[in-house]
Amino acid sequence: MIRDLKHETTSLRKPPIQITSEIYDDGFLRVEHNNFYVECGGMYPKFSQGEFLIISLLTRKAHQYVNAETIWKYIWHESRPFNPESLRSCLKTQIGFKRRSIRRIIAS
């Protein structure tokens, strides 16, 4: 009985977290920054370049606060002046859409 319980708990463990400059992998979400690759729960959601850059930045800065201006500059560099109102509506739309997509992936 003890062996069976030990086997069950071992099989439920996720692989260790892998965070490097090129890869973020927490066992559920894998982001390969240089390859524009995302895997989420064994599925491969499609992201626009801007959406991918947001995910990439947030996983690179996991466990850190990332302010709106940092996100803006990471996506648009200096090609557009920082506009917090535009960013807020853009992020709400993109994050809301992707959140629903990821929920569908998790539910299936």
The neighbouring-strand residues paired with 23 are 32
Q: Is the pTM of this model over 0.75?
A: no
CB neighbours of residue 29 within 10 Å: 15
Residue 16 and residue 12: Cα distance in Å, rounded? 12
* pLDDT band, very low/low/confident/very high, at 7 (cuts 50, 70, 90): very low
Task: Break the chain into its structural domains and give their ranges.
Answer: 38-108
Using DSSP's 3-state secondary structure scheme, residue 28 falls into coil
**What is the CA angle 51-47-93, rounded to 5?**
50
Using DSSP's 3-state secondary structure scheme, residue 19 falls into strand
pLDDT in tens, 9-51: 344 445 557 777 899 998 888 999 999 999 988 888 888 888 8
Residue 25 and residue 43: Cα distance in Å, rounded? 14
Residue type, 14: K
Q: What is the pLDDT of residue 13?
A: 43
Q: Find the length of the chain.
A: 108
